[in-house]
Chain A
Amino acid sequence: MTTTEPDRAATRPGTGRHAGKPRREDTTPAPAGTGGGGGGSRPVDPGGNGGRGGRAAMSEGKRAERRLGWLLCAPAALVMVAVTGWPIIYSIWLSLHRYDLRLPDQQEFIGLENYIVVLTNSYWWTAFWVTTLITVISVAIELVLGMALALVMHRTLVARNLVRTVTLIPYGIVTVVAAFSWFYAWTPDTGYLAGTFAPDGAPLTDRAASIAIIILAEVWKTTPFMALLLLAGLALVPDDLTKAAAMDGAGPWQRLWKVIIPVMKPAILVALLFRTLDAFRIFDNIFVLTGGANDTSSVSMITYNNLIRGLNLGIGSAMSVLIFISVAIIAFLFVKLFGAAAPGSTGERGR
C-alpha cells in the first residue's frame, strides 16, 4: 500500500487529498474514519493492490513483514484447528458409521446411510421447518424492533447512558434463567401471563402457542444485541447526510429508507448474519419452555436427543453435520449478498 500511494499521487497532480484515496473503500466522503480504518482493515490487499507488480516485485522488507505476520497468527491458528477443526472432522467420521453406544458391537462403516435415514425422516423435516420458522420470524421481528431501539438510542439526548443500559438488560440475563421466567409466566397457576392471556388453557401445551412463546422469548432476549449492532451501523451515517436529505426534500421516512438504511446496509447485513446463524441453532429456550413437546423441537433439539439422550452417535453426528452445512449455506448466502453490498465493489473498478 505504501508503495503504490506516492506513484498514484504523482500521476494525478493537483488533485486534493481525497483523490489520493484508494478507490475501493470508503463508504462515505467523510475523511476521518474511512481512510485510515479502511486501509488498515484490508490485510489481504498487498496481493490485490500490487496487481501491476505482482509477487516478484515484493521487497525483502515486505517479505519479512509477511513472515512475521504468519508467525504471529500461527498460535491462534493452531488452537483454532485443535478446538474446532478436529471435532468437525471427528463428527464427519462418526456420521459415516453406524455407531450406537447401546449397540457397541455393531459399529461399521455405512457411508451416507445415516444421512439418508435422517433426510427421509419426517421428524427431521418437522424440526427443520420449525427451526426455519422460528429463525425467520424472530430475526425479522428483531430487525424491526432492533432498528427502532437503535434509532431511539441514537437520537436520545437525555439520559443516554441510562437508556442504553436499560435496553441491554435482557441480553445480560442468562438465557436459561430468562427461559425459566418465561416458562413460569406462561404456566397456569404460577404465571401472570398465562392467567391474563389464556385463563382457560395452558399455552405451552399447544403447538402454535408454544412456538409463538418461543419466538417471544427469543426476541425479548436478543433484540438488544441486534439493536447494539445496528446502533454501530447508525453511527456510520454522517449527520450531514441526513441533513442534506432533509434539505433535498425528504421527510423522516424517506430519510430512513432512502439514505440511512442504504448507507448502513453493511451493518444491517452483519447483524442479520449473526442473528440468523444464532437463531438457527436455537436450543436453550426450547429445552426449557417445551422440551420439544408437541413438535416444537428445533434441529439442535433433536440432534441433542439422538446424540446425548439416545446415544446414537452416528445419526446424531449426521444431524450435526447437516446443521453445520445449513449454517454454512446461510453464511455463504449472506457473504454473497454482502459482497454485492460493500460500497465500491460494484460498478466501475478502475479509471
Chain B
Amino acid sequence: MAEIVLDQVSKRYPDGALAVSEVNLTVADGEFIILVGPSGCGKSTTLNMVAGLEDITAGELRIDGERMNERAPKDRDIAMVFQSYALYPHMTVRENMAFPLRLAKVDDGTVRRKVEEAAQVLDLTEHLDRRPSNLSGGQRQRVAMGRAIVRDPKAFLMDEPLSNLDAKLRGQMRTSLSRLQKKLGTTTLYVTHDQTEAMTLGDRIVVLQGGNVQQIGSPQHLYDEPANLFVAGFIGSPSMNFLPVTVENDRLSTPLGSVPLPDRSRTLLSAADAPRELIAGIRPEHFEDAALVEDHLRDKGHTFTGTVDVLESLGSEKYAYFELEGEGPQARQLADLASVTGSADEGGGPRQLIARLSAATRAKEGAELDVWFDPAHILLFDPDSGRNLTRAE
C-alpha cells in the first residue's frame, strides 16, 4: 500500500532522445492508474522508471514520501507483471510464485501458505507443480499475477499484461484483474495501448503522447471533456469525428450545414479569444437517424442529409459512414493521431463521418438518410494548439 509520486520526472536517452518529459503524477494509495498512449509515447519508459529498471534523468520519484531515484528495483518493494509474463522456465509454477519470497528469505511454512493462498485466489491450485511451458496463455498470465501478489508489495506495475491473450480471454482477464485489484486494494500502475482496457479498468487514466502527458482524469471525464484533439481522438471507439468549421457571428458553418453556436460555447470561445477557423468534434453516438427522433427533440437539434456510403450492423446498433466533401481539418495533433492510429487518410483524401445509429434505423447503403444531431454536443478545438476550447477549466 503506497502513494506514488512522480515529480517532474523526465527520461533522456544518451543519444539525446527525450522519451518522457516532466511527468507529474500522484497515484493515491490503492488507486488503479492507467498509462495509455500509442507505442513510443513513453508509457513503458515511465513504468520502468518507477520500477527502477531505467534511470530517471531528471525529477524525483517518491514512494510513500521517500525518494526512490537511486534505489535498486529490489529495494523499492514493488512487483511487476510483464507482457511476456517472464516466467522462469526452469521452475514449476509453485517455485515461480515462491521466488520473490525465497529471495526475501521468508521461512518455508510461510512461503507455502502464501503461495497456496495466491494459487487459490487465481485458481491455479491444480497447476502448482507444472512448468510454465505446459500452461496455456491465460494460465501463464495468472502465474505472473500470482508471482506479483504473493509478497504483498507496495504497488503493482503492469506492462500490457493482457495483450498476449486472445480477445475473449482478454475480456475475462480484464474483469478478474479489476476484481482482484479491488479486493487487494494495492496501488496499481498499468500500461496499455488499448483504450478499451484503459476505459474499463482504471480509476484514472493518464494519456501520454510523445513523452508528454496530455491529460489525466477519470475515464468518463476524458471521454466527455478531452483536453485536446489528441485525447479526443484517442479515447473512444469508433473515434470522434472531426470537421473543419468557421465561426460566423453566432453560428457555426460546418460541412453538415450551418448550426447555431450554443450559448455556453460562445461564452467560452470569446473568453479564450479563439480564432474563427476551428475544428469541431462530434462523437458518433451523438448522431441519430432523424426519423427515429421525437419531434420536440428534432427541432432543438440540426438535421442534415447525406448518402450512406457503408453501413455496418453490429446487431445492437448500426454504424453508418458518410463521405464528406472538401478538405479535412488540418492540425498537427490530428496528424499525430493519424500516424498512430494508422488512418493515413486523416489528413486529406475523402473525408468520412461515422454515425452510430440505433438498430431500428432503415438506413440503406447508397441511399440518402436524414441524420439528426444536437449542436450542444459539439466540442470545438483550436487547430494550432489542439486545445479544447469548449472545456471549462
Contact = CB atoms under 8 A, between A and B. Distances in A.
Interface of A: 12, 14-19, 21, 23, 25-31, 238, 240-241, 243-251, 254, 258-259, 262-263, 265, 343-344, 347-348, 351
B172 to A, nearest CB: 10
B166 A16 contact: yes
Contacts, number: 115
Given A29-B140, A259-B88, A348-B134, 17 more contacts: A15-B138, A16-B138, A25-B133, A244-B80, A244-B86, A244-B88, A246-B53, A247-B78, A248-B74, A248-B99, A248-B103, A248-B147, A250-B74, A254-B103, A347-B92, A347-B129, A348-B130
Contacts of B168: 14
Contacts of A243: 51, 53, 80, 82, 86
A249 B74 contact: yes
B103 A250 contact: yes
A15 B74 contact: no
Contacts of B349: none
B57 interface: no
Contact of B73 (A12, A25, A246): A246
Contact of A26 (B53, B88, B133, B165): B133
B136 interface: yes
Interface residues of B, number: 41
Contacts of B92: 347
A157 to B, nearest CB: 9
Q: Chain A interface secondary structure, helix, strand, loop or mixed?
A: loop
A240 B169 contact: no
A247 B136 contact: no
A158 to B, nearest CB: 10
Contacts of A251: 72, 74
Given A29-B87, A249-B74, A259-B88, A347 B137 contact: no
Contacts of A245: 88, 99
A249 B100 contact: yes
Contacts of A249: 74, 100, 103-104
A332 B249 CA distance: 91
B100 A248 contact: yes
Interface string B120-134: 000000000111111
B99 A344 contact: no
A344 B90 contact: no
A93 B180 CA distance: 74
B89 interface: yes
Contacts of A254: 103
Interface in B84-116: 84-90, 92, 99-100, 103-104
Contact of A344 (B129, B133, B138, B166): B133
B164 A14 contact: no
Contacts of B103: 248-250, 254
A243 to B, nearest CB: 5
Nearest to B170: A16
Contacts of B135: 18
A310 B138 CA distance: 70
Nearest to B77: A249
B79 interface: yes
A241 B168 CA distance: 27
B104 A29 contact: no
A15 B167 CA distance: 11
* Most chain B CB within a 10 A radius of its CB, from A18, A27, A258, A263: A18
Interface string B243-277: 00000000000000000000000000000000000
What 9 A-B pairs have minimum CB-CB distances, sorted nearest first?
A: A16-B137, A244-B86, A18-B137, A19-B136, A240-B86, A248-B100, A249-B74, A249-B103, A247-B80
B224 to A, nearest CB: 35
B137 A247 contact: no
A240 B138 contact: no
A260 to B, nearest CB: 11
A21 B89 CA distance: 15
B166 A343 contact: no
Given A31-B164, A249-B104, A254-B103, A18 B89 contact: no
Interface string B56-90: 00000000000000001110001110111111111
Nearest to A247: B80
A265 B90 CA distance: 10
Nearest to A350: B134
A344 B131 contact: yes
Nearest to A343: B89
A27 B169 contact: no
Contacts of B165: 16
Nearest to A244: B86
13 contacts: A16-B166, A18-B135, A25-B133, A26-B133, A29-B132, A240-B83, A243-B82, A246-B72, A246-B74, A250-B74, A344-B133, A347-B129, A351-B130
A238 B86 contact: yes
A32 B383 CA distance: 43
Contacts of B147: 244, 248
A18 B86 contact: no
A265 B89 CA distance: 12
A241 B89 CA distance: 9
A240 to B, nearest CB: 4
Contacts of B90: 262-263, 265, 343
A240 B133 contact: no
A251 B71 CA distance: 12
A16 B89 contact: no
Contacts of B80: 243-244, 247
Contacts of A265: 90
Contacts of A348: 129-131, 134
Nearest to A31: B164
A114 B371 CA distance: 103
A18 B74 contact: no
A144 B254 CA distance: 73
Contacts of B136: 12, 15-16, 18-19
Contacts of B72: 246, 251
A247 B51 contact: yes
Contact of B133 (A14, A15, A246, A343): A343
A143 to B, nearest CB: 19
B89 A27 contact: yes
Contacts of A31: 164
